[in-house]
Amino acid sequence: MKILVTGGAGFIGSHIVDAYLKAGHEVCVVDDLSSGFRRNISKEARFHEVDIRSSRLAEVFEAERPDVVNHQAARANVRESFEKPLLYADVNVVGSVNVLECCRKFGVRKVIYASTGGAVYGEPVQLPVSEDHPINPLDPYGASKHHVEHYLHLYNSNFGISFTALRYPNVFGPRQDPHGEAGVVAIFAGQMLENGQPFINGMGDQERDFVCVFDVAKASVLALDRGHNEIFNIGCGRGTSVNTIYATLAELTGFQKKPVYQAAKKGEVYRIFLNSDRARKVLGWRPELSLKEGLALTVEFFRSAHQKQFETTQANQG
């Protein structure tokens, strides 16, 4: 089938593109390159440099006529969302409605939507968190992502467009940008390999549900023909502290410095991990990579990238 991936030049989106291509599908990518990189996009995928808020998006849909849209494009930085709440509403909500309108006009049969399990629930009242947990986001990012879930129901009820919403945990892995809208794994790995000084917000005992991007991309493949009009948590079902992530990455990189602790950030959930039983039963999804295996793959990617950058710098100076 033909699949259009918004945000397909980004960290998660590009891995989803690769997974779809590997499964034999035809793939096109929409990305404005505000946080993604052209180098992430497979040469086998057609690329359109378009903002999802733009009227030009309809031209892409008219030309490509996709069967399925996998909607990954979004602003995704919790801290930045407090500074720029209007931007987050504009990109994540208004932009998503523009995507759905294009789906309606050009006969898309299904939308797979990247939501967030780490930010929509707020501080959990019970753990692990299931999809039926109350929705009480603590930041504009989480609020904007959940808002779109209501539009998915609306477009399904009124226009027959099927959907599957995937609520992501803390996703990590190769291609995550340690200098941009990055998670703690990418930030620490980049700093350790450059012998920098990592900082930890709070005491480091806050816990998150960490899943490698390869396992997350697999969920998008399974959702092509399963889980219609349902919402799924995509997580490993257990919490890992930031201190544990730090210690494991330090072991993998041979890093010796201790972290510097600083004040906790506003809007961050203290402890959350996801119940993914529904995804296991309906999608047939479960994470295959252990945390340490995923972290090792991530470190190897950043080590290789760091070495290439060093060699380029040396060649330019020589």
User: Taking residues 126-143, what's their average pLDDT?
Assistant: 96
* Residue 248 placed within a domain: no
pLDDT of residue 27: 98
pLDDT category of residue 147 using cuts at 50, 70 and 90: very high
pLDDT category of residue 312 using cuts at 50, 70 and 90: low
Give residue for tokens 């390999």.
Answer: 193
Using a pLDDT cut of 70, give the percent of the chain over it.
95
* Residue 75 placed within a domain: yes
What is the crossing angle of helices 291-317 and 242-253, to 10°? 50
* Residue 135 placed within a domain: yes
| Distance separating alpha carbons of residues 90 and 140, to the nearest angstrom | 11
* Residue 81 placed within a domain: yes
User: Taking residues 93-115, what's their average pLDDT?
Assistant: 98
* Residue 14 placed within a domain: yes
Strands (DSSP E) found in the chain: 2-6, 26-30, 46-48, 68-71, 110-116, 162-168, 170-172, 199-201, 207-208, 210-212, 230-233, 240-241, 260-262
CATH number at residue 167: 3.40.50.720
pLDDT category of residue 181 using cuts at 50, 70 and 90: low
Contact 114, 92 (CB under 8 A): no
* Residue 140 placed within a domain: yes
Please provide the average confidence, as pLDDT, over all residues in the chain. Answer: 94
Tell me if residue 113 is catalytic. Answer: no
* Residue 255 placed within a domain: no
Domain assignment of residue 25, given as a range? 2-172+211-236+275-288
Domain count of the fold of the chain? 1
Instruction: Choose, from 141, 155, 168, 246, the residue flagged as catalytic.
Output: 141
